[in-house]
Amino acid sequence: MLLFWGRLYLKFLLQEVIVLRQRIHKIFVVFLAMLFLLAGCSSGDQSGQQVEQMDLAPTIGHKDVNNDTGELKVHFIDVGQGDSILIETPGGQNMLIDAGERDQGEKVVNYIKSQGIDKLHFVVGTHPHSDHIGGLVKVIESIPVEKIYLPRVTHTSRSFENLLEAISNKGLKISTAVAGVKISLADGEASFIAPVGEDYEGLNNYSAVIKLTYGSASFLFTGDAEKLSEKEMLANGTDLKADVLKVGHHGSVSSTSSNFLQAVSPEYAVIMCGSGNDYGHPHKETLAALSGLEVYRTDSDGTIIISTDGNNYNITTGNKIAAQDKVVSNKDNSVYYIGNKNSKKFHRTDCANLPAENNRVYFATCEEAVNQGYTPCGSCNP
């Protein structure tokens, strides 16, 4: 009988310990969130433009390495169904926007180091969804970071809690990502143009949107910003024109409204999504809206690197072959098959499902198409 009551008492004590640990964890997370909201505020100058409030602790033992090519390089890293974008400036500053899911963190770290980079001057977590900020924990733990930006919104997910803990452990302070804040680049210009507001029902519209300009070249990185955020950017009178558009929300119909796309008027579009993802990204409506542009996708092209000297662009994919380099003349009499750069399918020339002209790749044989990673169309069975 004494053994029975003793075991029952021990079980009671164990349950109390578990409850106590849960309460302590919740209090810790709330404390971190409060620190984030207090430390991440921005103040306005007399012109009304927002400026950064806090600088991060300097990194010691790492030196900047100038980009000898004089080119700006933007790496759209293939992290599956998620975003991760590495930016190298000619002056040797490095910026990372997102890092995919948690299981992609090590891949992102290895990729950054493979580029000879041992310090990140700026890190941006566009919004608290795990497919954007999950991998940032590993990045922050592995690579020195000077400044980190997050939008002013909290989340109760484990991914967001882990990110706050990693930031705190490194002694970093969070700068707020909000429209009007400029990022201090030695060459080129970068600034946040969204979020414009501060009270959204969904997290996607809190996405930090960045416009980057180098010479005459320009990029727009949109995170998962949806049509509401796009409407606010348009109403805010921001110059949205950009040559390269990172398409919002992995190509979902929730983003890339016609008015927004018209204002950006890009020449190139990059969609970051995972092969065979459960969401059907990119949606066919978005692809139709992007027809007429050069469209690149991480699910089919792998990691995409866009380099520019400020005027011209050089685009390579995971296969180190620019998509435009694959195209041969439509007037070539030896062309028997037509590939679709988006779907990676190839068709007979009389197939009813041929892609738009700008998305076509021409092949003389089936073997040539297959060797370049294309698969046969199920309708015309080439």
DSSP type of residue 371: H
Find residue 78's DSSP bridge partners. none
Residue range 20-46, pLDDT digits in tens: 455 554 445 445 555 554 444 443 333
Q: What is the mean pLDDT of the chain?
A: 82
The rounded distance, in Å, linking the Cα atoms of 23 and 342 is 50
The rounded distance, in Å, linking the Cα atoms of 153 and 316 is 36
The better pLDDT of the pair 216, 353 is held by 216
* pLDDT on residue 131: 98
Spatial CB neighbours of 226, under 8 Å, sequence gap ≥ 6? 202, 204, 205, 248, 249, 252, 254, 255
Task: Tell me the CATH architecture of domain 53-316.
Answer: 4-Layer Sandwich (3.60)
CA angle 205, 45, 89 (to 5 degrees): 65
* pLDDT on residue 43: 36
Place of tokens 């076509």: 360
Residue range 245-260, pLDDT digits in tens: 999 999 999 999 999 9
Say if residues 317 and 306 touch (Cβ distance below 8 Å). Answer: no
Look up residue 95 and give its two tokens: 């910026």
Pairing of strands 182-183, 189-194: antiparallel
Which sequence spans correspond to the domains of the chain? 2-39, 53-316, 327-376
Residue 165, pLDDT > 80, answer yes
C-alpha 152: how far from its chain's center? 18
For the chain, the maximum distance between any two Cα atoms, rounded to a whole number of angstroms, is: 94
Residue range 45-59, pLDDT digits in tens: 333 333 333 333 222
Residue 368, pLDDT > 60, answer yes
Spatial CB neighbours of 58, under 8 Å, sequence gap ≥ 6? 146
Residue 282 phi, psi dihedral angles, 5° rounding: -80, 150
* pLDDT on residue 335: 52
